[in-house]
Amino acid sequence: MLILLFFSNCLNYLDRQLFLSLLPAMKNLYQLSDPAIGLLASSFTLAYLVAAPVAGFWGMRFRMEKLLGGGVLLFSIGMLISSMAEFRWMLFSGRALTGFGEAVLSTLGPVYLYNFVSVSKGARLGWFYLAIPLGSAMGFLMGGAFILRMTVQHILLLPVLPGLIFALFFILRREESASMSFSSPFFLKDILFWKSFLKNFPKADKDMVLMSFAVQTLVTFVLGGMAAWMTFYFIRVKMFPISTIESLTGGLLLLGGIVGMLGGGKLLDREIRMRPKTPFHGPTLLGLCSALAGVLIVIAGNTLIVCSLGLLLAISGIFLVFVPLNWILLSRNSQLSPAVLIGMSLLVSHLLGDLLSPSLIGEVSQYWGLSIAVEINLIIPLIMAIVIYAGYARKRSDF
């Protein structure tokens, strides 16, 4: 099951980035204006944000194996529609359907895995989330490798068959996942209102969940800004050669993701054995401080080697944080399914995080320059995340 979830999640992020890597070719093929390209990219994000909390609600009502299979099936069909698109509306429809399907897998996958395994939960979650940098890198590499050999439509068709096969494996599974029961009825409308949403938690759990939401949002904000602007920052501010930077940033993203996700999972498992009440303290603080230190090294560095090491440290720290913060949501005992928590976390962190940061950096850059725009939008959120987390831990008397 871990292997199936891992490869399904790899395909999830491969589909996402493969489509983005082909946008320049689609611009000419479909005669898309810049605003149309922006809307096409946003159609995925908006569908993803809407579907994530709904998928969490569905996870309380139906068998997760079937829902996971349905999610993989949806995003594969979405890619199929995009590959067959003759008109713009088909591109938008396929992209939105891909967003719906990927939200289901991203929301329910870690919940199913957490309930399915009994040991080394942190390491298993680390492997699941390793698919984020690995699948993303594979998507960009595949787009670049095939663009001169195949048509856009044929390239988009490549991941469809594996997705259909993975979906079939989920749907045909007969084993029951760990059951989850809830002591009070819960309705879809409740997740739309914070007051109703939070009243389901005791005070200690409520503070922990809100802290996780806040820190994940800030870290996602930083990651989104880095993904969109770090290459431009290296070229325009640091004056590094463009031929080197393109491949270097992709390699650092992959290596940092492997170190952060797998290291975070292993460290969390060790902390669970040593400090079962607060195992997330060490990994979270280490990740946040590493990310901030890495960003400061990048800003202060004048050579490619120093800046590369700083970026690797920053990426590793950011990805390390995701494992313990999601463990917090998965391990809560409340009347709410962990799936609902993961869905709401995805909604909040993406809506206020990587959906905003690229545009905000662009706006600030127009007035104050790219150097200031990137630096303040990476440093300030990480400092805020450390302050929020330290304040939470101090309030619990853990410091």
Residue type, 138: M
Q: Which two tokens stand for residue 172?
A: 């045909």
Long-range contact pairs involving 170-179 (C-beta distance under 8 Å, separation at least 24): 170/4, 170/8, 170/65, 170/66, 170/68, 170/69, 170/72, 171/65, 171/66, 171/69, 171/70, 171/73, 173/65, 173/69, 175/65, 176/63, 177/63, 177/64, 177/65, 177/112, 177/115, 177/116, 178/115, 178/116
Q: Which two tokens stand for residue 210?
A: 């809100």
DSSP per-residue string spanning 386-397:
HHHHHHHHHHTT
Shared fold status for 1-174 and 191-399 = yes
CATH 3.90.1150.10 fits 191-399, yes or no: no
Please give the pLDDT value at position 185: 44
Q: Which residues neighbour 295 within 8 Å (Cβ) at sequence distance 6 or greater?
A: 222, 310, 314, 378, 379, 382
Q: Class of 1-174 per CATH?
A: mainly alpha
Q: So where are the chain's domains? A: 1-174, 191-399
Distances (CA, A) of 24 to 19, 108, 127, 163, 241: 10, 33, 32, 25, 22
Q: Please give the Cα distance from 393 to 253 (Å, whole number).
A: 30
Q: Please give the Cα distance from 9 to 390 (Å, whole number).
A: 32
Q: Please give the Cα distance from 389 to 212 (Å, whole number).
A: 9
Q: Please give the Cα distance from 253 to 369 (Å, whole number).
A: 25
Please give the pLDDT value at position 370: 86
Per-residue pLDDT tens listing for the chain (399 residues): 888 999 999 999 898 888 877 877 887 888 877 677 767 777 888 888 888 888 887 776 778 888 899 999 999 999 999 999 888 888 889 989 999 999 999 988 988 888 777 777 888 888 888 888 888 888 877 887 787 888 888 999 999 999 999 999 988 877 554 444 444 444 445 555 455 666 666 777 788 888 999 999 999 999 888 877 887 788 888 888 766 676 677 788 888 888 998 898 889 888 888 888 788 888 999 999 999 999 999 999 989 899 999 999 999 999 999 889 988 888 876 545 677 788 888 888 888 888 788 888 888 888 898 899 999 999 999 999 999 998 888 876 554
Q: Which residues neighbour 231 within 8 Å (Cβ) at sequence distance 6 or greater?
A: 245, 246, 249
* Nearest Cα residue to 22 out of 149, 163, 139, 161: 139
* Nearest Cα residue to 127 out of 139, 109, 115: 109
Please report where in the chains the tokens 């590793």 appear, as a residue. Answer: 316
Backbone φ, ψ for residue 335 (5° rounding): -75, -10
Q: Give this prediction's pTM.
A: 0.80
